[in-house]
Structure 1
């Protein structure tokens, strides 16, 4: 985590602008809904794998649910699921999606670092690319909040960017040592392995964006999936709440 103090991350108001208006206001970090890497319009493959392996059980919390693809997937599979996000606009969109699809899912506006207004306990908490969007102090508050709302014996499934992420991407890079230390109290780690986070980007799309902006990035070390989507280096962690 050292050396990342000056990293510029999207803030809650940025996410609200993004989901409400389709883009953030011009500034140090610009983003648009059609260009954000997590908008793959389906469940994250690792999340689908977990469900197929029987690792999603009981009441489920999707922390930082974003556009709701993972939470709605769980609802479709018959789970009792709650999705939370800091953006009121995206929560309203997700409620409408659930209603239109005839799915039973709860969506709540909440700050994941406090979980205020979130009614636990949950047997399974899924974090698909939330934690690395937070600064270190907020990450630690978030892990404590997840511990509070997770049932004893419940499990957190976390997918977060790793220390192998290209430096040009604005997100916290988490090392194995940092994750083991962060989850050393109150948790038992059952899985910590390197995975890829599927994005909306192809290598060709990224090259085009880099050319337009005059930037550079070494793409040779990044993998792609069977659909040609760029996979960003990540950790998959499963931890049991003690």
Structure 2
């Protein structure tokens, strides 16, 4: 899937053939993010970059953390604010260009990238990491999830990210402490995912059969889980 053809604003407005059933909208924080929080991996001022509908932001704020959620799609942030308000949470949500992060210099102690990195081109990834370095304090922690090459060809993934790519790009200004495979929970059952692939991409979804599901029948997608510290 060519991410350059994806209009995320239209996706969040529900005006695409996908409607409002987006694979990443599980209506709750990612289980992997919950596990990180349980392990005390989020401290200080937290940036949820590419926050989308804000469920990870809301979860972290409910743990007493000061969270800022940034995204490029105004409609996503409008819905994120509404979801946070329903939970009685006061979270700063704002539109931002992840490759620049102007006005956010030196602010954050922890960064969560829950599936933004793999939506960026190679040049944009380098600009993005440079922006994260500017936006964080020395010693800041980065938690990043990105699609790995283990994702089947039929899955609508923007880019599949190699281990070498992460080590080179993130490793420039950050010390990688952990880089290992894990899974990312989607909102779709196998049949829903296959139907979406047929409708949107017009390709044979047979390769999706090898993806695992969780206890609720939701498809699990292979991703890298990276933890790094800013030097």
TM-score normalized with structure 1 length? 0.87
Which residue does 1:151 correspond to in 2? 137
| 2:222 maps to 1:233 | yes
Query: Mapping of 1:7-26 within 5 angstroms?
Result: 8-10=2-4, 14-19=7-12, 21-24=13-16
Give me the whole-angstrom Cα distance separating, in 2, the residues matched to 1:11 and 1:148: 29
After TM superposition, give the deviation of residue 177 of structure 1 in Å.
1.1
Alignment CA distance shift 1:79-1:197 (3 Å): same
Deviation at 1:190, TM superposition (A): 0.6
Quick one: distance in 2 between partners of 1:130 and 1:212?
Answer: 24
Aligned residues: 228
Counterpart of 2:189 in structure 1 is 202
Match of residue 33 from structure 1: 20
1:82–1:107 contact (8 Å) kept in structure 2: yes
Task: State TM-score, norm by structure 2.
Answer: 0.91
Alignment of structure 1 residues 1-242 onto 2, 5 Å: 8-10=2-4, 14-19=7-12, 21-24=13-16, 31-34=18-21, 36-118=22-104, 120-168=106-154, 169-210=156-197, 215-217=203-205, 218-242=207-231
Does the 8 A contact of 2:190 with 2:209 survive in 1?
Answer: no
Structure 1 gaps, min length 5? 1-6, 25-29
Q: What's the Cα RMSD here?
A: 1.9
In structure 2, the gaps of 5 or more residues are: none
Q: CA, structure 1 residues 120+8, in 2 after alignment: closer, same or farther (shift >3 Å)? A: same
Compared with structure 1, are the counterparts of its residues 134 and 212 closer, same or farther at alpha carbon in structure 2 (3 Å cutoff)? Answer: closer
**Aligned equivalents of 1:132 and 1:144: distance in 2?**
16
